[in-house]
Amino acid sequence: MQYQDIENKIIDVLEKTPYCTLATANKKGEISTAQMCLINDGLTIYMQTDKSFEKVKNIKENNFVAINCGAYNFKGRAKIVGHPKENKMFIDRIKKKYPDTYKHYTNLEGEVLIKVKLVECKIWGINSNNSQSKEAILLINFENKTTKEILCDRM
């Protein structure tokens, strides 16, 4: 598979993924996870949350995050980019993908928008081109637009 084909497949998965798990860590390295609604614009992820939640504090202290969408495990850099109402693309997409979330939360004053630039993805168990009968992990670096297959021993 060519890099662009893999990137297109990942974008399609992100668009179809209803919920993901966001992992953040504070400056001490203490980890926190949360289930989140996911809106993507290509390889950029947007999520809204209340500004008082632990994940917001963690992102301000340590902008490296991880996002899990099933077999797709991402690393990225996050930042708080204002109120969700300030981002037209986000508003248009959340109204369609998560109408109840939009209705109940998006207009609350305490909401903030998290923007995550994805930098890496590991896809577990993807069909590989290897001739060996081993499972593979496909590692994709979005910054360098490179892929690497890592063969796994069967357990």
Condensed to tens digits (0 to 9), the pLDDT of residues 40-51 reads 999 999 999 999
Q: What is residue 151's predicted lDDT score, i.e. its pLDDT?
A: 82
Domain limits of the chain? Answer: 3-121
Q: What is residue 58's predicted lDDT score, i.e. its pLDDT?
A: 98
**Mean pLDDT across 125-136:** 61
Q: How confident is residue 155, by pLDDT bands cut at 50, 70 and 90?
A: very low
Q: Is the pLDDT of residue 116 over 90?
A: yes
Q: Which class in CATH covers the domain with range 3-121?
A: mainly beta
Q: What is residue 124's predicted lDDT score, i.e. its pLDDT?
A: 85
> What whole-number distance in Å separates Cα of residue 68 and Cα of residue 122?
10
The terminus-to-terminus CA distance of the chain in angstroms comes to 26
The alpha-carbon radius of gyration of the chain (Å, integer) is 17
Please, which contacts does 89-93 make with residues 24 or more away whose CB atoms are closer than 8 Å? 89/41, 90/39, 90/46, 90/48, 93/39
**Tens digit of each residue's pLDDT (9 = 90 or more) over 22-31:** 999 999 999 9
Q: Is the pLDDT of residue 11 over 90?
A: yes
Q: Is the pLDDT of residue 130 over 90?
A: no
